[in-house]
Structure 1
Amino acid sequence: MKTIKLNDYNQIADFINNADYHSASYLYKLPQAHEDVEDKIRQAIVDPGVFAHVDDQEQIIMLILAFKYEEEKYKVVGPFLRTDVTPNVTEFQSLFESLAQSKPKTTNFNFSFEETEQTFLQFMKDIQSSYSFTDYHLITTQDVGEIEHAQNITNYHPAYYRSFCKLHENTFKHDVMTADEIIDSLDENNHLFVFMSEGLLKGYVYLQVYEHKKNAEIKYFSSHSDYRLMGIAFDLLTHALHFAFSTYDINKIYFKIRSKNTTLVERFNELGFNINYEYKKFKYVASHI
């Protein structure tokens, strides 16, 4: 068995399409549309490269790649295994090291695995990656009613532009809609509610409704760091839930929260949210080891 760098898109795509993916990180980052998949893989071939273990007949046994999202920052996709091969921690470590060693030691390699559905802890331990946080994907089917301080919550107004932009940009950094994109999207199905008090914007929630699918999503929400633990976030979420369920013919609302604090996540049960699924995130940086 040896490690090689692959450059043939068709060879890579054919293997991935027929491989065992149960141990693959960031599996959901592979787009569904064929054209998008091809574009992503071709970018990965160029940077940082697609690496594989092959047998004596030059047949691929295991394959790994990564998608770049910032300078020296990658999301690792894989490993993908030949279906007659049993996952092997040592071989995974060897293959990943080939990928990691092709970049500077300060490069961040990020992993994401679905809790309860994937095997990953031993893999992450052996390469000495560190746990970062968990993305919790929550769902609710119930309206918990209007809030006591509804007078503090209002629809977005251009007068709030600078305060909203600053709060949004300080809260969300990567792979998100910009403040201007959110504002430009506002219509009968996209709503931005802000929490105003003492003349200050202290929080916001952005709600997207897909009535044809009978569901909605709380896409973004935040409260200002100076006013945390004052119930502002829960008031905003409660208001958004009540508005959506009472205004539209929907039966589900989705919501994602990123946290290391399981107890905090459990508090959302008070709003009727339950964990739909969760992704554990890990980070590997050679210079940190």
Structure 2
Amino acid sequence: MQTSLTTKASSLFLKEGASDMDIKKTAQFIHRLNQTPEHRVGYLPRSIEAIETLLSNLADDDIIMKDQTFIGIIREEDSAKVIGPLTTDFNLDAIYDMWRTLTHRHPDIKTYEFYIDDRYQFGQQAMKSLKTQYLGTQYTMTAEQLTDDIDTRQVIKYSPIYKKSFCELLKNLYVDVSEKKKEILDSLDDHYELFLLLSEGIVKGYVILEVNDQAVCYIDHVETHKHYRQQGIGHKLVAHAAKHAFNEHQAIAIQLVVEDKRKRAIEFYEKLGFKKTDEMHHFKYTIDSGDL
């Protein structure tokens, strides 16, 4: 795998800005590399098309590419999420030089966060070389069938009639409600479904399911009203989304991600039939403690 990727990469990464690269070919390279745990990093969408969209939305100074190596950032005010390092050229000195160049472009950004698969040994070495701080582990959990039956009768599929109640829930969860509402509702199509938990006339939580008929489906996002947490609402939402994927879309498996500190949730998912199948380590790089 590494040989074929390296051969294709050298002709893609000719410049150091997003506007100078072939977005389509670069997206294919990144997607292909990220399919193997020995190269996998976080903050990347699953599909090639979504990666293309992400790349096209990044500014020139948010990306650095050299030979067989890619690093990009998604800025969030004074912090950023890092995509990478994605590479087939395992050279720590090259990563260090590229990282120094990238961070010097953004003096306003104080912290950067990475997710690196635990089997991506070079990525782990790069985190140590850059003197990042380990924050925890995120597990991917997979179920091929459900082993427990949860009462999910309070969970319903979203329809416009519930828009006002759904917006009330969003007000409880987010500062910029209008932006979040648009982001979620605009995403709904044949591949994304939204389910709500309705109780006592109140929408108390929601879950987003990415559906793929006769393939793997993904539980992408679960949120619960702040006033009704620790009541099993998130569990019911996950259980309903999983049952829906198996029964209505003939899913071959369901996947979700969960942070290692959420012990109670992990125990519930395992009881439901999920098993840990992958883990990503979460790191933070802080400029003040950096050695650049």
Interval of TM-score (by shorter of Structure 1 and Structure 2): 0.5 to 0.7
Alignment of 1:67-78 (within 5 A): 67-72=73-78, 73-78=80-85
Alpha-carbon distance change, 170 to 95 in structure 1, aligned in 2, over 3 angstroms:
farther
Identical-residue share of aligned pairs (%): 23
8 Å Cα contact 1:9-1:41 kept in structure 2: no
Alpha-carbon offset, residue 288 of structure 1: 5.6
Cα distance, 1:230–1:121 mapped onto 2, change above 3 Å: same
> Is contact 1:51–1:98 with CA below 8 Å preserved after alignment?
no
Structure 2 gaps, min length 5: 1-14
Aligned residue in 1 for 2:11: none
Cα RMSD after superposing both structures: 4.4
User: CA shift at 1:193, angstroms?
Assistant: 2.5
Is the Cα–Cα contact under 8 Å of residues 63 and 81 in structure 1 kept in the other structure? yes
1:208 alignment partner in structure 2? 210
* Alignment partners' CA distance in 2, 1:48 and 1:222: 30
C-alpha separation in 2, matches of 1:185 and 1:68 = 20
2:219 maps to what in 1?
A: 218
* Paired residues of 1:24 and 1:78 also in contact (CA < 8 A): no
**Tell me, what secondary structure is at the counterpart of 1:250?**
coil
In the alignment, the residues of structure 1 paired with residue 181 and residue 71 of structure 2 have an alpha-carbon distance, to the nearest angstrom, of 32
**Match of 1:276?**
277
Greater share of helix: 2
- Conservation of the 8 A alpha-carbon contact between 2:77 and 2:109: no
Secondary structure of 2:211's partner? strand
1:130 corresponds to which of 127, 130, 133: 133
Residue 66 of structure 1 is matched in structure 2 by: 72
Deviation string for 1:177-234 (max 9, x for gaps)?
94345446657765432222233221122233322x3442223222122222211111
Q: How many positions carry a matched residue from both structures?
A: 264
2:266 partner amino acid: E
1:256 is matched by which residue type in structure 2?
Answer: V
Preserved contact between residue 85 and residue 123 of structure 2 (Cα < 8 Å): no
Alpha carbons of structure 1 residues 81 and 167: separation in structure 2 relative to 1, 3 Å: same
Distance 1:23 1:188 in 2: 30
1:47 equivalent in structure 2: 61
Secondary structure of 2:131's aligned partner: coil
* Unaligned stretches of 5+ residues in structure 1: 53-59
CA contact (8 A) 2:212 2:249 kept: no
- Indicate the residue corresponding to 1:160 in structure 2: 162
Q: Which amino acid aligns with 1:111?
A: F
The Cα offsets for residues 232-260 of structure 1, whole Å up to 9 and x where unpaired, read as: 11122222222332334332222233x24
After superposition, the Cα gap between the structure-2 partners of 1:197 and 1:134, relative to the gap in structure 1 and judged at 3 Å, is same
TM-score (norm 1): 0.68
